[in-house]
Amino acid sequence: MDRVFPSKFDWLFGDAAPRTGTFTGYLDNQQVWADVHFFERALSDITVCAQQPPSSEWMFTVSVKGQPQTLGNSRGTGAATAPLYFAMSERYFVIASSPRVVSALKSSLGLFDPTC
């Protein structure tokens, strides 16, 4: 890990996760990152659905109890030019740039894949 900075998704879970951060580092000489949300209280029924429309960005939507978490009139929670990887537990929610980062965090933090 070489840097930590505020998450651009700090609004995602409101007061249930008031502490968030994006952690960056290098894995095999490639920069990777993980956006971590630290839950202060358990949230139930969190889902994440991701898709890549033809010739477009990867879109993803995080929902809590069936309610999509979006800002303004957005069609989803966020978008990226490459696939993103998600994992969670009762204490953490993670968005990462690499499946290897998610895999390492799953084993050390007891995370699992959210459903869609």
pLDDT tens digit sequence for 16-42: 999 999 999 999 999 999 999 999 998
The single-letter DSSP state of residue 76 is: S
Taking residues 83-93, what's their average pLDDT? 95
Domain segments of the chain: what residues? 3-109
With 0-12 CB in 10 A as exposed, 13-18 as middle and 19+ as buried, what is 60? buried
Please give the pLDDT value at position 55.
67
pLDDT value at 13 more than 80:
yes
Q: How far is CA 75 from CA 16, 25, 60, in A?
A: 23, 30, 9
